[in-house]
Structure 1
C-alpha cells in the first residue's frame, strides 16, 4: 500500500517537472537548513528577488557661498583679475574707515538729550528736558543767594582754595570728624524703606545724589553707558489708583467714581528717566562738581570723561585717554579739587590724568603711577595737594600732587612714584577703593581680604610718612561679590550735619550703615529688595538720613527717615 502511494507521488512530481521544463522555467534554489540549528526554528532565505533602488531626487540648488563662488568662478575660467581684487580691497578698507569714523563721532562728539524707553514707567524726552530746566533754575537760585550773602557780609565769607597745586601746604581747616555713634543710632532708628524702582536697563555701577534739599534726586550709571535720573521725593507715598491698578493723579480730589467702585491706593514710584551717556560702555563713576551742581560729570570704560551741563543743554567731552595711550585705558575713577576747577582721573593701565577745566582739553597731562590698574582716586577736601589711590596690586598709596609736573612725564614711573609718594599700605588682596571723608581727616578703604579699614590723618602734613602707615580701625565685612554683582566700595556719608558714618552693600541684600568708629548701626532691608544693593550713596547736605542702594538689576532702593 505504501509503495503504491510513493509511486503515484513520484509520477506526479515527474509530470510537473516535465511541464515546467516545457515552459523553460528554472525554480530558485532552496537553501539548506544549518546543521547546528534546530529544525523547528530554522527559516529559509526569501525567494523574492530584490527591488532596484529608487532613483535619487535632485535637490534644489543652494545659494553658493563666497568660497564656493570663488571655486566655481575659477573652474569656469572666470578668475578675478588683480585690478578687481585691488578694487575690492580698497572698497573694504574705505568701508572700515567710514565705520571707524562713525564710531569716533559717536564716542567723542556731542550728544543730544533723548530719553530712552525699555524700562517700565520711563518718562519721555520732553519731560526730561523740563526736569533739567528745573535743575538749572535751582542752581541759579542758590548762586544768587550765595552772591547776595557774600556782598552783605564779606568778612564772613571763607576764601576758596586755589584750583592748581599750591607750593605751600594747601590745607583748609574743615574741623574734625564728629564721631558720635549713639546719636547716629538714634537717627537711624527712624529710617525705613520707601521704594525699590527699576530706573535703568542694566547693572548699576555708579551713583551720585543731587544736593537739592527740597527733593530726593539720584543719578545712576549702568553697564551699557546709560545714565538714569530718579526723582524719589514722593516715592512710597500712597496715591489713589483705579481698581484695575492704573495710577491716577493723587493731587486731584474731584474724581467722581462710581458708587460700587472700591478706592485702591498704591505706592508712588516717583519719576525716572534714562538716556545714552556713553557709547555702550560701563559708566564707572558719576560726580557733580563742587560748588557747581548744574554740571554732571561721568567717566566710562570707553576711555573718556564727559560733562552734561543742565543750564546750556549740552553734552561734551572733557578727557580723551586715547590720545595718551594706544591701548585701551579704561577710566575707573576721578575726583575734583575743592574748587572744582581741576580733576584727576585714574585708568586701567596705571595712569593718572590731570585736567584743568579752564584750559583746553589738549593741555591735559598724564603720568604713570603704577604698571597695573588703579581703581580709585580721592582728593583730600582739606588739602588739594594730597590724593589717595587704590590699586589692583594690593596697595593703597598717598600722594603729594605737587610732585607731578610736566617735566616728570619724561622720567620713569619708579622715579615719579618715589618722589611723590607720601605713604603706602599693603594688603593681602586687591584694594577696591579708598576715599577721604568730607573733613579730610579720615580715609576709608575697601579690600577683597574682607576688611574695611579707617585711617586717621592730619591733612596739614605733607611730608613722607616715616613710621608704619597703619589703620586705626579694622572692620570685618564680606566683600566677595562674585561675577554678577558690582564691586563693593564703602562710601562716606558726606553731610556735615550728620555724625561721621559710611555705607556699604551686603551680600545678604542689606544696606549696611557704620559709624566712623567701626560700629555697625543698621542692616537696612526689605522684602522688595531682591538683589544685592552693591552701589550705595547718600544725600550730601541734609541733616537727616537719605540713603540709596543700586543693584545689578538696574533697581534703586530708597531709604528715608520717617517722623
Structure 2
C-alpha cells in the first residue's frame, strides 16, 4: 500500500479532532433526544430499466474480407546478384503468375463484397434469413410457425350496415361496453423484438396466441410470441428482475437486403385467404412473401419506384401497391409480375393505399407532399382498368390518368376528394368499408361515415366532408416513425382504431370520434408510434417504438 501524502495525513487528523470534539460536547446524544432522525441515503431512482434482452452466444458469421493493399517496398523480393539469365527469367515468370493470381483473388473478393450489398432477388430459406439464430432457436421458430398453419384463418369483414345506429344512445352504449373492456388493459409483456426502429406491424389472427410481426428500419422482421415462457435474465447484481426481463420469445429474420435504411419495411400484411403467408414491402423497391408452411421467402414483385404500402382484398388474388412517385400498381398474383400495371395518379408521394373490404373496387389513397396540401382520395379501380384495356401499356403516366378523369368516359374515376391543411400521412377504411380515418401533419385526425354501397353507381359521392375532426399531435420529427391511425380488424366489435400518443401513451378512439381510453405505463419512456390490434381477441394491442422495443397490452390476468 502506498504511503499517505502530507495533505491526506492532515485531513485524517482534522477528521479525528472534529470527531473527538463532537463526542466531548455530547452533540450526538442531544440530536437523538430532540428526535431528529438520522440522515438517510436517498432512495434509488424509480425509473424502470429498459427490458433486458437474453444473453445469447452469437454464431460466427462468414465475413467477406477484401485483400489489403501492400506497398511495393514490402512486396519487393531479395534478388540474388549472381543469378543467371535463366534463373532471372524463371523468377520473373513466377512473379507475373503470382501477381495474376493475387489480382484474380482481389477481383473475386471485391465482386463478392459488392454482391453482398445488393438486394437479394432469389428465394431465401429460414437458415439464410435467420443467419444469427442458433439451432435451438430455429427449431422453436419452426414449431411456432407450423402451429399457426394447422387451420386456415381467412380475413373477415363486417357487414356494411353493422353497428349502424340512428340514435346516439345506442352508440354511447357500445362505446361504454368497449371502454369497460379496453381500459383494463395493461402492459403484460415487453421485449426488444427488432434491432432498429419499428416501421410496421401486423397481429396474427390465431386466437390462442399473441404472435406479432414487426418490420424495422433495416429490413428485419421481428416475430414475437409475446406470451411464450420467458427466459430468466440476471441483472448486474446477479438478481433476476421481473420488471426488466424480456417477455415471451422472439426471432429476427433479415427478409430484405442490404441490412440498412435502404431496406426499411414499410408495410406488413397476412395472406387474407388463410394467413399462412406474410407479405412485406420495402424501400428496396421489392415485395416478398414468406411462407410459414415451407419457410421460403420469395420475391413476388420489384419496382423502379420506392414502395410505401400495399393492400389485398379478401379474395387474395390481387394487390394494390402505392409508391413515392405518386403511383398505384395493380398486381395480379396469378400472373407473372411483369404484367403489373402502374398508374401515375399524382406528382406527390402516395403514403398509403387501402381497399374497401365490402366494395373492393374503391381504393383510398393518402398523399404526402411537402409542397402541396394533402388529399385523401377515393378511386374507382374499374375505371382505371378500363383505361388499361383501352391503351395497352403497363405504364400509365399522370397525364394519361388526368385525361381520363377529365373526360366524359372517365367521370366517376375519382369518387371523393378532401383537402387537408397539410400532408396526409395515412387514410384507411374500417372493417365494414363504411368509415374512414385519416392522419395529417396539421395535427388532426378526421373521420368520415359513408354508405359506399348506396352510392356504388353514382359518379361521385354526394358529400366527402369529414363529420369529425380530432386534435392530435402528429409532429413525430425525424427519429420517430410517422403516427398512423389503424383500425381494429375485428369485425365482431364496435369499430375503433388505435394511434400512438407523443406523451408515451396509446390512444383508442371509436368510429364516431369518442376517446374510449388512453393507456399509459410509467415504465414506458418512448413514443409507441406503431400500433396493431388482434383480429380475433378484443382486449389485445401491440405497439413498437424507435429503439425496436415492443409492448403487449392486455388484461392483467393474462400476464
Does TM, scored on the shorter chain, surpass 0.5? yes
Q: How does 1:20-39 map to 2 (within 5 A)?
A: none
Q: Deviations over 1:293-342 (max 9, x none)?
A: 110110000000000001112110011103xxxxxx11100000111111
Change in 2 beyond 3 A, CA 1:558/1:134: closer
SS at match of 1:390: strand
Map 1:109-120 to 2 at 5 A. 109-114=122-127, 116=130
1:425 maps to which residue?
418
- Is contact 2:353–2:366 with CA below 8 Å preserved after alignment? yes
1:535-563 CA distances to partner (integer Å, 9 max, x unpaired)? 00110111x31011110000111110235
Q: Secondary structure at the match of 1:338?
A: coil
Q: Conserved in 2, the CA contact under 8 Å of 1:290 and 1:336?
A: yes
- Gaps of at least 5 residues in structure 2 are 1-69, 74-99, 165-170
Distance 2:205 2:550 in 1: 18
What residue in structure 1 maps to residue 401 of structure 2? Answer: 416
Residues in 2 aligned to 1:129 and 1:217: alpha-carbon distance in whole angstroms: 16
Q: Tell me, yes or no, if structure 1 residue 330 matches structure 2 residue 316.
A: no
Contact preservation (8 Å) 2:158, 2:431: no
CA distance in 1, matches of 2:113, 2:452: 47
Q: In the alignment, what sits opposite 2:303? A: 321
> Do the aligned partners of 1:239 and 1:266 also contact (CA within 8 Å) in 2?
no
Give the Cα separation in 1 of the matches to 2:134 and 2:478: 33
Query: Which residue does the alignment assign to 2:506?
Result: 511
Residues in 2 aligned to 1:427 and 1:265: alpha-carbon distance in whole angstroms: 43
- C-alpha deviation, 1:366, in angstroms: 1.2
Distance 2:246 2:488 in 1: 26
Q: What residue number does 1:33 align with?
A: none
Quickly say closer, same or farther: Cα 1:311–1:133, change in 2 above 3 A. Answer: farther
Name the counterpart of 2:381. 401
| Partners of 2:283 and 2:308 within 8 A in 1 | yes
**CA gap 1:239/1:105 in 2 versus in 1, 3 angstroms:** closer
- Residue 224 (structure 1) aligned with residue 204 (structure 2): no
Partner residue in 2 for 1:523: 518
Partner of 1:292: 274
**Alignment partners' CA distance in 2, 1:333 and 1:240:** 37
3-state SS, counterpart of residue 514 of structure 1: strand
SS of residue paired to 2:287: strand
The number of aligned residues is 427
CA–CA distance in structure 2, aligned partners of residues 102 and 199 of structure 1: 28
Which residue of 488, 491, 496 corresponds with 1:496?
Answer: 491
1:434 to 427, 437, 444: 427
Q: Is the 8 A contact 1:307 1:315 kept in 2?
A: yes
Structure 2 residue 553 is the aligned partner of structure 1 residue 559: yes
Alignment partner of 2:546: what SS? Answer: coil
C-alpha change, 1:125 and 1:204, in structure 2 (3 Å) is: farther
Tell me if the contact between 2:414 and 2:460 (Cα under 8 Å) persists in the aligned partners: no
CA contact (8 A) 1:491 1:537 kept: yes
Q: CA 1:100–1:317 in 2, change beyond 3 Å: closer, same or farther?
A: farther
Cα offsets for 1:171-216 (capped at 9, x unmatched): 9944324652111111123211112211110000000000010010
Cα offsets for 1:416-440 (capped at 9, x unmatched): 2513211111111000001001111
Q: What is the CA–CA distance in structure 1 between the aligned matches of 2:314 and 2:268, rounded to whole Å?
A: 16
Q: Residue 355 of structure 1 contacts residue 361 of structure 1 at CA under 8 Å; is this kept in 2? A: yes
CA distance in 2, matches of 1:453, 1:423: 15
Which residue in the other structure is 2:334 paired with?
A: 358
* Conserved 8 A contact 2:160-2:451: no
Deviations 1:9-33 (A, max 9, x none): xxxxxxxxxxxxxxxxxxxxxxxxx
2-structure distance, mates of 1:231, 1:172: 28
Shift in alpha-carbon separation, 1:428–1:291, aligned structure 2, 3 A: same
Which of 351, 356, 361 is matched with 1:385 structurally?
361
The CA RMSD over aligned residues, in Å, is 3.4
Deviation, 1:377, is: 0.2
Distance 2:268 2:378 in 1: 23
Q: Mean alpha-carbon deviation: is it higher for 300-309 or for 345-354?
A: 345-354
* Shift in CA distance, 312/472, structure 1 to aligned 2, threshold 3 Å: same
State the SS of the aligned residue for 1:293.
coil
| Inter-partner Cα distance in structure 1 for 2:529 and 2:243 | 31
Q: Secondary structure of 2:493's match?
A: coil
SS in 1 for 2:149: helix
**Cα contact 2:152–2:275 (8 A) shared by 1:** no
C-alpha distance in 2, partners of 1:381/1:265? 41
Of 195, 200, 206, the match for 2:200: 206
The 3 A distance-change label for structure 1 pair 129 and 331 is farther
Quote the residue 1:457 is aligned against.
450
2:396 & 2:308 partners in 1: Cα distance? Answer: 24
